[in-house]
A = this chain, B = another copy of it.
Amino acid sequence: MSEVITAVYEITADDPAARAALVAVEQSHELPTELAPDNAVRDSLARVRTVEARPGRPALVTVDYPADLAGAELGQLLVLLLGNVSLQDGVRLVDLELPADLAAALPGPRLGVAGVRALVGEPERALLATALKPVGMTIEQFAALAYDLAAGGLHVLKEDQGVADQRWAPFAERVPRIAEAVRRANEDTGGRGVYLPAVNGAAARFDEQVRFARDHGAHGVLVMPGIAGFAALARAAECFPGGVVLAHPSFLGGFTASASHGIAPDVLFGTLLRLAGADVSVFPSWGGRFSLSRDQCLAIAEAARRPLHALPPMLPAPGGGMSIDRAPELLAAYGPDTVFLIGADLQRGGNPRRAAERLLAVTRG
């Protein structure tokens, strides 16, 4: 038997089996089967394997896609899994299984958990991160904040995703200055904090910005796959070998906002972004400003780290309104192979360095 990609969907419909059959056709041939040539019906038509009715819940459906349909391309895999049916309500992708050779052909994390840990010099304990914000600050303000937070012991200093190439702190002037501030903080304190500027240029400009970051003291980049495309993660890794690729979920929420549609958060922020090449995947944790549940968040962390063919594990990065006081609870829940992202709370009280030290202390207690 030929290899298959198996997608698991939750289907909300009066007749889930009929709907499942439509999904299988829509996502492969997109043509009524009686019109397709015999060779295409044999070779490239997806087929429903199981339909499990579940009283009071959406039916659970498995669809097998001939693996050759993906053409060993991430983009084409996404087209298969949810391309056209993303435009219909009632179909939600909740799991997938890939053949080993397809998984091996996809980018996957270059650094993964071990690589990021090696870079920041922290072999086992929780990793701590913050966002440099707000946009509109001057370069001096950004550099001072970065210095303080790096000196306070944070491992990852990423720019806010809205910090782009604006007049208040243009990319080409800002990046070297913040990198220098982080370098000085590391030197002054013996730390090894990494600095990840946000890269939001279009196409060729994206490549230029990643290479500029690489050549001017940054340690990786923040990429928004919802804006730049999923392939931008692997592209960043190509343009910046050895750099950390951090995925930010901006503009990806369309897939997770409805319970009857889209993609389960663990599949999107866990499995798919890991396959796409993120080393760190930021997502909105429960109890913050966003609406994922505790179970959904822990499932993302599990999907980031569980065995998946030969792919390295990825670091989940819960964020979105986290606080220093909640860090011990979050650490207990997520475990140490996690990047805890705490933003505004480190700027409260006017002493970011001390706040960072306090965060470090409560997570090392």
Contact = CB atoms under 8 A, between A and B. Distances in A.
Contacts of A201: 73, 75
Given A71-B166, A200-B76, A284-B87, A136 B44 contact: yes
A291 interface: yes
B249 A87 contact: yes
Nearest to A201: B73
Contacts of A135: 28-29, 40, 44, 69
A310 to B, nearest CB: 20
B28 A134 contact: yes
Nearest to A32: B344
Contact of A229 (B31, B86, B228): B228
A311 interface: no
A224 B29 contact: no
Contacts of A228: 75, 229, 231
A69 B166 contact: yes
Question: For the complex, would chain A's binding face be called helix, strand, loop or mixed by DSSP majority?
Answer: loop
A291 B260 CA distance: 14
A78 interface: yes
A202 B45 contact: no
Interface string A293-328: 000000000000000000000000000100000000
Contacts of A41: 136
Given A35-B348, A135-B44, A291 B89 contact: yes
A204 B75 CA distance: 13
A235 interface: yes
30 contacts: A28-B134, A29-B135, A30-B160, A31-B134, A31-B343, A32-B344, A36-B134, A37-B134, A40-B134, A40-B136, A45-B134, A45-B136, A73-B164, A76-B164, A79-B164, A79-B224, A80-B162, A83-B161, A83-B227, A86-B226, A87-B257, A87-B290, A89-B258, A203-B231, A203-B238, A206-B231, A227-B229, A228-B229, A253-B261, A258-B261
Interface string A210-227: 000000000000001011
A26 interface: yes
Interface string A245-265: 000011111111110011100
